[in-house]
Structure 1
Amino acid sequence: MNKKIALNIFIGFCVGIIANFTGSFLYLQLFSKHPLEESITIALQEDVFGNIIALGAVLNLAAFFILLKKKRFYRARGVILATIVAAILILVSKFY
């Protein structure tokens, strides 16, 4: 694989991970009455942490379409890869 292609996919992956963390953080800040650390602890105890990750992944959709509109197709593939990683994390959190 060409180094430039791999770098673009990696950049897209990083954009997807950052968008997912940002979406999860915003959700916890807007809809939680507790501080961030306590909200994460409560989410883990109540087994809803996967749902928070899934809601955070909604920002990946915006990042994906922005990258497609700018014709950054390999970066958009990286965002899809980050979304797949988030889905695997959700799956693990549900069954573990």
Structure 2
Amino acid sequence: MNNIVKQVLAGTVLGLLVSALGAFIFMLILLPTNDLQDTFNKLLTNGLLTKIITLGTLPNVIVFHLLIKNKRDYIARGVLMAVVILAILFAILKML
């Protein structure tokens, strides 16, 4: 694998991890309960889980900006790819 592909894959993984962390933080802020699994089940049954995960992708904007500013263009492409992957996934889930 060449270096560019590795950087794009690293950026994709970074974007997915930042999205997961952002979703977790939004769940803690918007729905402060003691039981995380109960909160997750409530979000899943009410159909709000995709909305929380979508809010969780907002920190990727900051990561993308910092990567572009520091001339890490290929990693930034990977972060953008992670956002596109999540958007396609949620579009498919909405159609089902």
Equivalent in the alignment of 1:22: 21
The CA distance in 2 between the partners of 1:36 and 1:92, in whole Å, is 26
Please tell me whether residue 93 in structure 1 is matched to residue 93 in structure 2: yes
The CA distance in 2 between the partners of 1:95 and 1:38, in whole Å, is 26
Task: Give the TM-score of the pair, scaled to structure 2.
Answer: 0.91
Please tell me whether residue 79 in structure 1 is matched to residue 90 in structure 2: no
| Structure 1 portions without partners, runs of 5+ | none
Matched residues, number = 95
The CA distance in 1 between the partners of 2:43 and 2:95, in whole Å, is 15
1:1-96 equivalences in 2 (<5 Å): 3-34=2-33, 35-96=35-96
Q: Identity of paired residues, percent?
A: 28
| Range that drifts further, 20-29 or 39-48 | 39-48
The CA distance in 2 between the partners of 1:42 and 1:83, in whole Å, is 25
Q: Following superposition, which runs of at least 4 residues in structure 1 exceed 4 angstroms of deviation?
A: none
| Structure 2 portions without partners, runs of 5+ | none
The CA distance in 1 between the partners of 2:72 and 2:24, in whole Å, is 26
